[in-house]
Amino acid sequence: DTEVTQTPKHLVMGMTNKKSLKCEQHMGHRAMYWYKQKAKKPPELMFVYSYEKLSINESVPSRFSPECPNSSLLNLHLHALQPEDSALYLCASSQLGTQKLNSPLHFGNGTRLTVT
């Protein structure tokens, strides 16, 4: 069982739809991440939130909009996506702090997104 829960597991959306991906963790982690993973490729970092504030945006297109409403929740709002955005979207969390740089990422099982 994963300690990071992602919903939905699968999502099919049209290019004009608006949808949201959700991620939840209750490990007290104060860093949360969104990764995009295409088939047979490594996870690509999209966003990092530290203490509920966006700290890293890896030049992600504005049709992806992250939100961190509290320390346990992370959302990814999707609007006007393209078929090439179809991928597995992974959420992760980790501890924060200068003494915690060796803290690993804890991943959810991802949301498989298909854009039609």
Partner 1 sequence: AQSVTQPDIHITVSEGASLELRCNYSYGATPYLFWYVQSPGQGLQLLLKYFSGDTLVQGIKGFEAEFKRSQSSFNLRKPSVHWSDAAEYFCAKRIIFGKGTRLHILP
Residue among 16 and 28 whose Cβ is closer to partner 1: 28
Pick between residue 9 and residue 77 the one whose CB is nearest to partner 1. 9
45 binds partner 1 (CB under 8 A): yes
Report if residue 106 touches partner 1, rule: CB under 8 A. Answer: yes
Residue 104 contacts partner 1 per CB under 8 A: yes
| C-alpha–C-alpha distance, residues 27 and 15, integer Å | 35
Strands 18-25 and 10-13: unpaired
- Of the candidate residues 81, 90, 113, 115, the single one contacting partner 1 (CB under 8 A): 90
Report the b/e string of 1-38 with b at 16+ CB within 10 A. Answer: eeebebeeeebebeeeeebebbbbbeeebbbbbbbbee
Q: How far is the CB of 107 from partner 1 (least distance, A)?
A: 3
| The only residue of 42, 69, 83, 97 in contact with partner 1, by rule CB under 8 A | 42
Name the one residue in this structure whose structure tokens are 């099982």.
109
Cβ neighbours around 57 below 10 Å, total: 12
43 binds partner 1 (CB under 8 A): yes
End-to-end CA distance of the chain: 31
Using CB under 8 A, pick the residue from 66, 68, 110, 115 that binds partner 1: 110
Shortest reach from residue 98's CB to partner 1, in Å: 11
